[in-house]
Amino acid sequence: MPTALETMLNDVNATRPILEQIANKWSVLILTVVCSQPARFNAIKRRLDPITHKALTEALRRLERNGLVSRHVIASSPVAVEYAITPLGKTLQTPFTTLIAWANQHGPDLLDAQETYDDRSTG
């Protein structure tokens, strides 16, 4: 009997395009930023420094297209744009929070492993 993981991987062609849209480094971080409250473009950019203007614009458009964030134009002078997480995007809060916590906890372990690998490969 296949395990749950094997069952999920059986249709990798269905899941791969979805994961490409939501599981890249900037999408995860952007969704984490707007999960607690809506934020304007520049506030997101400052929070995620060193993200470039272009990378943030592309990621926000991709997230909006996928229904994970909404874009609201604020009629002010100058015109401002605010991004908020959608109900669909909110469903990613728990797995992304878990992923970020894991990265924070195990980041040093990954760096050690990379250093060990690099030393073996070059030495």
3-state secondary structure of 94: helix
The pLDDT tens digits of the residues spanning 53-87 come to: 999 999 999 999 999 999 999 998 888 999 999 99
Residue range 26-50, pLDDT digits in tens = 999 999 999 999 999 999 999 999 9
Domain that holds residue 109: 4-122
Distance of CA 45 to the CA centre of its chain: 14
Q: How far apart are CA 102 and CA 28, in angstroms?
A: 13
Q: What is the pTM of this model?
A: 0.83
As for how many domains the chain has, the answer is: 1
CATH number at residue 46: 1.10.10.10
Predicted local distance difference test score (pLDDT) of residue 17: 85
Give me the mean pLDDT over the 112-121 stretch. 96
Question: What is the side-by-side strand order in the sheet with 80-85?
Answer: 39-40, 80-85, 69-74
